[in-house]
Amino acid sequence: MPESSKRGKAGVLALDHVAFGVRSIAEVSPILCVRLGAVPFQSGPGIGFNGAQWTLPGEGRVEAIEPDGGSDGFLHRFLAGGGPRIHHVTFKVDAIHAAAAAVQAAGLTVVGLNDTFASWKEMFLHPKEAQGIVVQLAESHPEIGDDGWTSAWPYPRPEPPSSSPRVLGLRLRARSAERALAQWRDLLGAEAEQEAGRIRFEWPGSPLRISVEVRPDAVEGPIALEVLAAGAGQPRSERIDELDVSVVAVDR
């Protein structure tokens, strides 16, 4: 991969997807298809979970993961702590071990580094260190295909509507602009644009972005999906069946 394609200290290639932790993919799948215009992409197993991904209008992706295994698994704990909601955001990186070294050099903890599968090597930043959200870094080689994920789709797949909102990305809250810039810009390679009380982080070539509201008294973490709409507004509470999300409309 050319050096010019890698961004930030961690060698990020792209912001790949936003993931929800849910109780049942089968229940969420038709709602995502109808409400967000999501088109089934792939599904497969993980350690303690089953997962599925959809492609959104505008080519971004969302993922849902459901518990699989014992009741003491990480997703059971996550759901018990607040119900189905946004769980993590995933970045593709050029080399997982180089990314892990960059994370450690930044003073953060590498969690769950797993290079068992040649097609998908991963690690995580813990939400306590990553402004309230799990951050997954992954080195991906889908042409190898040894991780069990395929285009097979065992879940409901209704046709998407003729017109759907375009999901632009994720909105978060952080207590410190300095820490937000250090994480998303310096470590993970985003281009940052600051405006009153908010920083927008974008990765060239990536269809999704992250916007961060900076509030020193805030509870850090994800607060909404941003969608493109005429006019802007405050986040409005919107429940997608069992998945509780908020949506904020923005005009750019």
% of residues, the chain, pLDDT over 90: 74
Pick the range with the lowest mean pLDDT from 72-76, 105-109, 131-135, 245-249: 245-249
Fold agreement (3-140, 166-250) = yes
Q: Is the pLDDT of residue 1 over 50?
A: no
Average pLDDT of span 111-127: 97
Average pLDDT of span 239-250: 63
Q: Is the pLDDT of residue 231 over 80?
A: no
Q: Output the pLDDT for position 158.
A: 92
CA angle 216, 217, 218 (to 5 degrees): 95
CATH superfamily of 166-250: 2,3-Dihydroxybiphenyl 1,2-Dioxygenase, domain 1 (3.10.180.10)
Average pLDDT of span 103-110: 98
Q: Is the pLDDT of residue 236 over 60?
A: no
Widest Cα–Cα separation across the chain: 47
Q: What is the CATH number of domain 3-140?
A: 3.10.180.10
Q: Where are the domains of the chain?
A: 3-140, 166-250
Q: Output the pLDDT for position 239.
A: 58
User: Contact 208/168 with Cβ under 8 angstroms?
Assistant: yes
pTM of the complete model: 0.93
Q: CB atoms < 10 A from the CB of 228, how many?
A: 14
Place of tokens 């850090």: 220
Q: Of 49, 54, 18, which is closest to residue 34 (Cα–Cα)?
A: 54
